[in-house]
């Protein structure tokens, strides 16, 4: 993951896509090792991680819009 982040030969969207692929692969491998109760808990943790990311980094599609102007 760190190697993908520091790869200056790739564009930022390419690095992001590569990191997302690495994360998805790792998540799949971890989930395969868990029993059904652990998988449920893992899924809950991943949902919280995804929600945190949306709260702190904007929508998952990167379509960030500026906040509306305050009304006076």
Predicted confidence at residue 72, as pLDDT, reads 57
Predicted confidence at residue 68, as pLDDT, reads 64
Residue 45 and residue 53: Cα distance in Å, rounded?
A: 12
> Has this prediction a pTM greater than 0.85?
no
Average pLDDT per consecutive 10 residues, the chain (72 residues; last block may be shorter): 72 86 92 95 91 71 57 61
Residue 71 and residue 23: Cα distance in Å, rounded?
A: 42
Residue 3 and residue 60: Cα distance in Å, rounded?
A: 22
Task: For residue 17, give the H/E element and its range.
Answer: helix 12-33
């Amino acid at each position: 993951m760190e190697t993908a982040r520091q790869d200056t030969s790739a564009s930022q969207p390419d690095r992001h896509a590569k990191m997302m692929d690495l994360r998805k692969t790792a998540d799949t491998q971890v989930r395969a090792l868990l029993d059904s109760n652990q998988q449920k808990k893992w899924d809950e943790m991943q949902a919280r991680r995804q929600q945190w990311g949306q709260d702190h980094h904007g929508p998952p599609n990167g379509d960030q819009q500026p906040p509306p102007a305050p009304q006076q």
